[in-house]
Amino acid sequence: GNSVTQMEGPVTLSEEAFLTINCTYTATGYPSLFWYVQYPGEGLQLLLKATKADDKGSNKGFEATYRKETTSFHLEKGSVQVSDSAVYFCALRRNSGYSTLTFGKGTMLLVSP
Amino acid sequence: EAGVTQFPSHSVIEKGQTVTLRCDPISGHDNLYWYRRVMGKEIKFLLHFVKESKQDESGMPNNRFLAERTGGTYSTLKVQPAELEDSGVYFCASSQAREGSHLYGYTFGSGTRLTVV
């Protein structure tokens, strides 16, 4: 079956530090890959996505590249801000028909000034 | 456009009681999903409606959970009777029914935090 594995948190960084949150997946075929973010007190928001191998998703300074050979979709940002503190979820979705999202456990990011 | 709205935002109930969660999807979205995150674990799929029909309910944990979507608009998720392990955050999401929609993520609500004591 499908599964997503994320690095354990919390990840604690100082402002302007470089961020990497690792995500690897197991899936049949070639799914679409997503990063969702949940800010404190808010719902899940789509941060970025990639629908095929070698695609790079990007938004708000965050990037992730769909790596088929390593089945990975690591999230990166060159310089984090305090406002980036949130829980980040990696997810996949099969590219056919009605398909549901399979999530990782989430990684909490805490950025201090 | 209004987003996905969930009520209540928080609920604390005693074991054995009944709780009903509500989700109002984005107007015109035929697909409605329920997901749940138990503390520290993955967000897991519960149920998928297409309009008023249950397309996939393979994630429903047991028969204490009942989801409905009368008229294909809002949906309710009832837990009766609630158990301690039902505590968690229940998310609702909706998406349009269109070709290629599986390539996109959904729009999620803010979730209902359920605590069973």
pLDDT tens, residue by residue, A25-44: 999 888 999 999 999 888 88
User: pLDDT-based confidence at A94, cuts 50/70/90?
Assistant: confident
Tally the residues of chain B.
Answer: 117
Residues of B near A (Cβ–Cβ under 8 Å) read 3-4, 6, 31, 33, 35, 37, 40-45, 48, 50, 55-56, 59, 91, 93, 102-111
Name the band, by pLDDT with cuts 50, 70 and 90, for residue A5: very high
pLDDT recorded at residue A28? 83
Q: What CA–CA distances, in Å, run from A62 to A21, B3, B54, B97?
A: 11, 24, 36, 29
Would you list which residues of chain A are within 8 Å, Cβ to Cβ, of chain B? 4, 32, 34, 36, 41-46, 49, 51, 89, 91, 93-106
Question: Reduced to 3 states, what is the DSSP secondary structure of residue B52?
Answer: coil
A59-89 pLDDT per residue, tens: 999 999 999 999 999 999 999 999 999 999 9
User: For A1-106, where are the E strands, in sequence order?
Assistant: 3-6, 11-14, 19-21, 23-26, 32-38, 44-50, 56-59, 62-65, 75-77, 86-93, 101-103
Peptide bond into B25 cis (omega under 30): no
pLDDT of residue B49: 92
* pLDDT at residue A29, as a whole number: 81
Per-residue pLDDT of chain B in tens (117 residues, 90 and over written 9): 678 999 999 999 999 999 999 999 999 888 999 999 998 788 999 999 999 999 999 999 999 999 999 888 999 999 999 999 999 999 999 988 655 555 566 889 999 999 999
Provide the pLDDT for residue A43: 84
d(CA B3, CA B24) in angstroms, rounded, equals 9
Q: Which two tokens stand for residue A64?
A: 């992730």
**Residues A41-55: what's their mean pLDDT?**
90
Contacts A89 to B, Cβ<8 Å: 43
Mean pLDDT of A95-99: 70
The pLDDT of residue A10:
95
* Coil/strand/helix, residue B78: strand
- What span, in angstroms and rounded, lies between the C-alpha atoms of B89 and B6? 11
pLDDT for B103 equals 55
* CB neighbours of residue B36 within 10 Å: 25
Please tell me which of the candidates B3, B105, B109 has its beta carbon nearest to residue A34. Answer: B105
How many alpha carbons lie under 13 Å from residue A11 in its C-beta half-sphere?
Answer: 24
Nearest CA in chain B to A30: B103
Nearest to B110 among A42, A91, A94 (CB): A42
